[in-house]
Amino acid sequence: MPATLVIGCQWGDEGKAKIVDYLARDAEYVVRFQGGANAGHTVVVDGTRFAFHLVPAGILYPHATCILAGGMVIDPLALSSELDMLTEKRVDFQGRILISEQAHVVMPYHIRMDRGMEARRGASSIGTTGRGITPAYMDKVGRRGVRMGDFLRPRASFEKLIADRVRENNRAMKALGLPAVPVADTVHALSEVARKIAPFITDTRLVLWSALDRNKRVLCEGAQGTLLDVDHGTYPYVTSSSSSAGGAVTGAGLPPSAIDRVVGIYKAYCTRVGNGPFPTEEKGKTGDLLRKIGNEYGTTTGRPRRCGWFDAVAGRTAARLNGITEIALTKLDVLDPFSAIKVCTGYRSGKKRLHTVPISLETLTRCRPEYEEREGWNRSVARDTELPDKAEAYVARIESLLDCRVSLISMGPERLAVIDRTHKRRPATISP
Ligand code: IMP
């Protein structure tokens, strides 16, 4: 059976975890394929809140096996804490978490370097999450990284590798004016954690290929969003991984032909955390209201997110790039109290009207959004079994602007606050 791919189509934080959680009901394998603990996924089940950074949210279904695939960069200490959180909340994950031997390790010095490099950028900082993501990917492409498979080495060989890497990096840190990472402490901490997570490490490609051969349902979960993709995002204000659909192929080790369903996740408005262009940003009261109602604060860093209206130019670009086959529209309820709702339908750049996001940062920074204004619905979308007409019309407008149908609509953090338009189904348990 072909795989399904879930991809964020804005600047991350589109509410992917909620949709992954919904789709994972039917999945036997849930796969993360890029990024690391910079991601933050929150799922609320029966009033219990779970915040994930590395483990796919699908772990909350006892039938699902979760894979941390080769394109990821994994902070083993953060992973260990996440496993402890799952144990504390009585989620049995034994045998259900597999980590790729190919995934790269985020080392303690990567975190220090990430923060140090950001501080040196001053006013032109990217606003990274400080989780060591860029330095880890730099070491990966520089062919000097440590991989999760190295955790399977005999202890002496592993400890020598870690000590060598720490010493090498301490020289690089010194050149950056950063304090050295203690060698013995790092070796000790990583040896301890290696013992804990070694049983989870394997060649996850073989697991996935076998799953496809056996007609198992595979769900791939993108982290961050398309406009943060290192190639296709608003470079250099991007993350360091391939967070668009192509990343799933290399990151998970899946052939492109294995994916036949691409669900693009869009929030009913836009947010961005960190720096970089954001054409529809609302800096005044509207932005504050969206942030307040949508509780737009980063799961990973707690930073307030920048907020603005739905951007169909960015949306269309992401739809084309990812080849989305359907849309999941999230947080529609956040727009309930607005009497007027704007949608950006084009960018004005001098005399030109642009329909896709330009690659040049200079051009993008100069673009002005062109809006159409729509009447709001001014009542709770989660109240009745049908959407209010004006909310329905808003959804239809997004469908026409992105040329793709909206199959799922989510209206709140609870697991069941979803309308499934494919099956014309709305869970009965949405509170009145
Ligand atoms: P990094 O991934 O920590 O290097 O951060 C690079 C940029 O991506 C920064 O603007 C971050 O705020 C942003 N970013 C990274 N991960 C996420 C995410 O999960 N959601 C939203 N933005 C993110």
Q: What is the pLDDT of residues 132-178, one digit of tens each?
A: 999 999 999 999 999 999 999 999 999 999 999 999 999 989 988 99
Q: How much is the CA Rg of the chain, to the nearest whole Å?
A: 22
Residue 229 neighbours by CB under 8 Å, 6+ apart:
238, 239, 241, 242, 243, 244, 247
Quote the CA–CA distance of 270 and 10 in Å, as a whole number.
Answer: 7
Report which of 273, 349, 287 is spatially closest to residue 313, judged by C-alpha positions: 349
For residue 424, the model assigns a pLDDT of 52
For residue 432, the model assigns a pLDDT of 30
For residue 225, the model assigns a pLDDT of 97
Please report the atom of ligand 1 found closest to the CA of residue 131.
3
Could you tell which of 128, 227, 241 is best to mutate to test the pocket of ligand 1, judged by most ligand atoms within 8 Å of the CB? Answer: 128
Q: Which residues of the chain have pLDDT under 70?
A: 423-432
Please report the atom of ligand 1 found closest to the CA of residue 128.
5
- Record the tokens describing residue 109, joined without a space: 């010095």
Could you tell which of 16, 38, 300, 307 is best to mutate to test the pocket of ligand 1, judged by most ligand atoms within 8 Å of the CB? Answer: 38
- What is the residue extent of each domain of the chain? 3-91+203-420, 104-200
For residues 130 and 119, the answer to whether their CB atoms sit within 8 Å is: no
Task: Identify the H or E element spanning 371.
Answer: strand 368-375
**Backbone phi and psi for residue 185, each to the nearest 5 degrees, phi listed first:** -65, -40
For residue 299, the model assigns a pLDDT of 80
Residue 46 neighbours by CB under 8 Å, 6+ apart:
none
List active site positions: 13, 41
For residue 412, the model assigns a pLDDT of 84
Alpha-helical regions (H) of 152-284: 155-175, 183-197, 204-213, 246-252
Homologous superfamily of the 3-91+203-420 domain (CATH)? Adenylosuccinate Synthetase, subunit A, domain 3 (3.90.170.10)
Q: How much of the chain exceeds pLDDT 70, in percent?
A: 98
Class at the top of the CATH hierarchy for domain 104-200: mainly alpha
